[in-house]
Structure 1
Amino acid sequence: MSDHIIVTTGIYDAIKDTLRRKKVSIEEEKRLTEELRKARQVLRRELPEDIVTVNRKVTLKDHTLGQEHEYIFVPSTKEKLKKNKHSILSNIALAVVGYKVGDIINWPFKDGERKIEIVKVETWEG
């Protein structure tokens, strides 16, 4: 698993703002604060293609629930759950943002800790 997440400055700032506004659980806040402290910030054009970020179609395997699901992560203003477009600041996105294909993350979701694997990341043009 990656030692640190890789995010653009815009995503970094959006996560910081989400933390400031107390939009996550205490466990998630601790985890995100720790990840941001070690995060590597890059320009959008320097972000590797296999990193989970905004405007990417991501296939995740939930080892805890035994399910695989595809998500499209979009800016918060473009979220449309009926079209499988999830905000980059949604719970599932916050768990995996900045990680890369092959990483397995144990994340403290509100309904309990789950083990999530990033199976595939593709650019999504919408």
Structure 2
Amino acid sequence: MSNHITVTTGIYDAIKDTLRRKKVSIGEEKRLTEELRNAKQVRRRDLSEDIVTVNRKVTLKDHTQDFEHEYIFVPSTREKLKKNKYSILSNIALAVVGYKVGDIIDWPFKEGNRKIEIVKVEAWEG
């Protein structure tokens, strides 16, 4: 399990802006604030390929609800849920962004805590 998230400066700033505009629950806000405090910021080209970020196809296993699902995380303006494209600032993306394959995250979703495992991360060109 990573002891900090690794994000690009652009993603870091976008999450900070989301927090400032109160777009998340209080539990998520506390968790994200703490994660940003300890986050490692890198350039996009220096970001490891197994880390969840924008324009990546990510397979997650939800241990709480016992299912596995593939998500494509895209910029907010490109979100199309019918095509399985989720904004990098969506609830599920905020829970896992900056983590890497093999990490298991306990996340305080609005509907309750869930345990999410990152099974696979791949580059995605859409």
**TM-score where L is the length of structure 1:** 1.00
Deviation, 1:25, is 0.3
Provide the residue aligned with 2:123 in structure 1.
Answer: 123
Q: How does 1:28-107 map to 2 (within 5 A)?
A: 28-107=28-107
How many equivalent residue pairs?
126
Q: Counterpart of 1:52 in structure 2: which amino acid?
A: V
Q: Counterpart of 1:63 in structure 2: which amino acid?
A: H
CA displacement, residues 15-60 of structure 1 (integer Å, 9 cap, x when unaligned): 0000000000000000000000000000000000000000000000
Deviation >2 Å, runs of 4+: none
Deviation, 1:83, is 0.2
**TM-score where L is the length of structure 2:** 1.00
Question: Structure 2 regions of 5+ residues with no counterpart?
Answer: none
How many Å separate the matches in 2 of 1:111 and 1:32?
17
How many Å separate the matches in 2 of 1:113 and 1:9?
28
Deviation, 1:79, is 0.1
Percent of pairs with identical residues: 87
Question: Structure 1 regions of 5+ residues with no counterpart?
Answer: none
How many Å separate the matches in 1 of 2:23 and 2:99?
21
Q: Counterpart of 2:78 in structure 1: which amino acid?
A: K
RMSD: 0.2
